[in-house]
Amino acid sequence: MDATTKRKRDEQVRRLVSKLLAPFGLARTKPTYWTRPRESVVEFVHLHLYTFGPVFRIHLGIHVLNDPRDFVALNGPQSTFWQDKGKFHFAERPEEVERCAREVLEWCERVGEPWFAKWRDPELLLDSTQSPLDDTEKVALRASRDGAPNGEFVARSRKELGVA
């Protein structure tokens, strides 16, 4: 598949994924991110297009808005081409685009939604040894919970994820 066609089909998949994830409250806020703001955090799905072929990898994460760092950590489960062989692949035909988008939805329903639900409780995010948050994120979440978020950090996080 030539690069122009790959970009066109890639965007078609992403637009369809946007429609399919909307009922879950996930909105496309950046070209490769679908986000769902919660109190003090943003749950997100990141769709990464491999350079070697028309194949996607999915990353999930929870970003603390008060995080002082200037990047979004991919701190949740991820699909891989090898684990999900044949999944998240698209081709030139429209039915392949739709199949790919539906497989992304299926993975998000099967893996993503249960994972997000597990970590919805801020206390569990802060206190669990299995929390996806690292120490920096926990300190930032604790400060938000205690009513002391840093406006600059929150604004930067919102901008990085395209969240109003």
Q: For strand 41-49 and strand 27-30, is the pairing parallel, antiparallel, or unpaired? A: unpaired
pLDDT of residue 86: 65
pLDDT of residue 14: 96
Q: Which residue has the higher pLDDT, 164 or 26?
A: 26
Other beta carbons within 10 Å of 74: 16
* Segment 37-73, tens digit of pLDDT: 999 999 999 999 887 878 889 999 999 999 999 999 9
What total of structural domains would you count in the chain?
Answer: 1
* Segment 93-138, tens digit of pLDDT: 888 899 999 999 999 999 999 999 999 999 999 999 999 999 999 9
Q: Contact 72/136 with Cβ under 8 angstroms?
A: no
pTM exceeds 0.75 for this model: yes
pLDDT exceeds cutoff 70 at 146: yes
The pLDDT-based confidence of 159 (bands split at 50, 70, 90) is: very high
Domain around 153: 3-161
**Where are the extended beta strands (E) located within the chain?**
27-30, 33-38, 41-49, 56-64
Q: Which contacts of 33-36 are long-range, i.e. CB under 8 A and separated by 24 or more positions?
A: 33/72, 33/161, 33/162, 35/161, 35/162, 35/163, 36/116
| Bridge partners (DSSP) listed for residue 6 | none
